[in-house]
């Protein structure tokens, strides 16, 4: 009888242990993150390493699952999915950040930050306010990264001064609040609103013949091969960040939250270094292949006048006048 009781106890213990193991096997928290970046891109390679680091450091209890190539939609769609609980996070550019908290997009106003040092100065000064604004909107900014220095590329003609855009077909991201204002300020420019995956097909057909983008992004999205002219003046800096739903972060156990945030900081720091270096290298490659236009002093004056008017218009509704003035101050 005793033996039977012992066997029954051991059987119950084995069942409980097995049940516990099954629960542990199913206990992995999977964080779903959208991105426009291809898996093979600079951003994708860093995110792949981040996935591995999180899984290893958490002993499999936490996993990141990235959805590449805009498979979760463009950035405004990804932000909407985070709000709706269909995604936990996204790696987005300034356009996506503007959907989280619109003032962040002011860092991408034209004619201000033509070097990383100027951007760093402004972003470091403003990011506490920006992160609070994002938090109030229900988002946690895990870390900031860069996309590249924005230059203008075209097909079959040079863009030397703003007037050269008249009658041409420049694209802009549908959710972008800045480029449409720039084009309207120039006048006679019918921008083509597209989501990122739509740009390449439209370059193929000639429906788009001007792109304003970082050289690295233009290369890795395969846009550069469809263009043959490059204006080497930097018109803006393209920024980015990894954002999560605050609810997702707050629901994690403390140790998993620490793993996610700590590894995230390392990932975006590595990404910033790589992007800045590789964007420079990409520009050198494109300059060797394309016809390069370097604006004269008179050309620069014309661009600066248009950029200033654009910022003034943006300060009349898109952003507050005080924010525009503050961001302009950091560019000096």
Distance CA(54)–CA(313), nearest Å, equals: 44
Place of tokens 């739903």: 245
pLDDT of residue 34: 98
- Residue 63 has what pLDDT? 97
Give Cα separations from 321 to 61, 103, 106, 248, 317 (angstroms).
Answer: 47, 11, 11, 34, 8
Residue 39 to residue 175: CA distance in whole angstroms? 23
φ and ψ at 200, to 5 degrees? -60, -50
Residue 263 dihedral angles phi and psi, to the nearest 5°: -70, -30
pLDDT average, residue stretch 240-261: 97
pLDDT tier for residue 201 given thresholds of 50, 70 and 90: very high
- For the residues 94-122, what does the mean pLDDT come to? 96
Structural tokens at position 270: 């590595």
Query: Residue range 32-55: average pLDDT?
Result: 96
Question: For residue 27, what pLDDT is reported?
Answer: 54
Tokens of 242: 């990894």
Residues in the chain, overall count: 332
* Per-residue tokens: 322: 């005080």
Q: Using CA atoms of 81, 213, 144, 308 in order, give the dihedral in degrees to the nearest 10.
A: -110
| Contact between 160 and 293 (Cβ < 8 Å) | yes
Q: Tell me the DSSP string of 157-187.
A: S---SGGGGTTS-BEEETT-SSHHHHHHHH-
pLDDT score, position 26 = 42
Question: Domain spanning 20-323: which superfamily?
Answer: Bacterial extracellular solute-binding protein, family 7 (3.40.190.170)
Run of H or E residues at 286: helix 254-289
* Residues 6-30 pLDDT 10s: 334 334 333 333 433 333 444 589 9
Residue 24's pLDDT is: 43
Reply yes or no on whether the pLDDT at 250 is more than 80: yes
């Amino acid at each position: 009888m005793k033996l039977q009781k012992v066997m029954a106890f051991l059987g119950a213990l084995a069942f409980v242990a097995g049940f516990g193991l099954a629960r542990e096997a199913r206990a992995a928290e999977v964080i779903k993150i959208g991105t426009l970046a291809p898996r093979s891109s600079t951003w994708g390679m860093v995110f792949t390493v981040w996935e591995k680091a999180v899984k290893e450091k958490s002993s499999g209890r936490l996993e990141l699952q990235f959805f590449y190539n805009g498979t979760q939609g463009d950035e405004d769609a990804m932000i909407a999915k985070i709000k709706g609980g269909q995604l936990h996070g996204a790696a987005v550019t300034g356009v996506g950040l503007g959907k989280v908290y619109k003032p962040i997009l002011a860092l991408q106003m034209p004619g201000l930050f033509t070097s990383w040092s100027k951007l760093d100065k402004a972003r470091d000064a403003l990011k506490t306010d920006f992160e609070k604004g994002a938090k109030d909107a229900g988002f946690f900014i895990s870390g900031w990264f860069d996309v590249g220095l924005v230059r203008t590329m075209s097909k079959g003609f040079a863009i030397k001064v703003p007037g050269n855009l008249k009658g041409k077909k420049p694209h802009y991201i549908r959710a972008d609040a800045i480029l449409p204002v720039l084009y309207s300020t120039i006048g006679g420019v019918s921008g083509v609103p597209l989501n990122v995956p739509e740009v390449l097909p439209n370059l193929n057909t000639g429906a788009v013949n001007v792109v304003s983008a970082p050289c690295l992004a233009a290369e890795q999205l395969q846009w550069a091969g469809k263009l043959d002219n490059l204006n080497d003046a930097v018109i803006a800096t393209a920024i980015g960040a990894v954002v999560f739903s605050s609810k997702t972060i707050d629901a994690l156990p403390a140790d998993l939250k620490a793993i996610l945030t700590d590894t995230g900081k390392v990932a975006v720091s590595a990404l910033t270094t790589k992007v800045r270096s590789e964007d420079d290298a990409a520009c050198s490659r494109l300059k060797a292949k394309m016809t390069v236009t370097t604006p004269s002093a008179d050309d620069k004056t014309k661009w600066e006048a248009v950029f200033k008017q654009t910022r003034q218009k943006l300060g009349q509704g898109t952003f507050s006048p005080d924010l525009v003035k503050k961001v302009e101050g950091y560019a000096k």
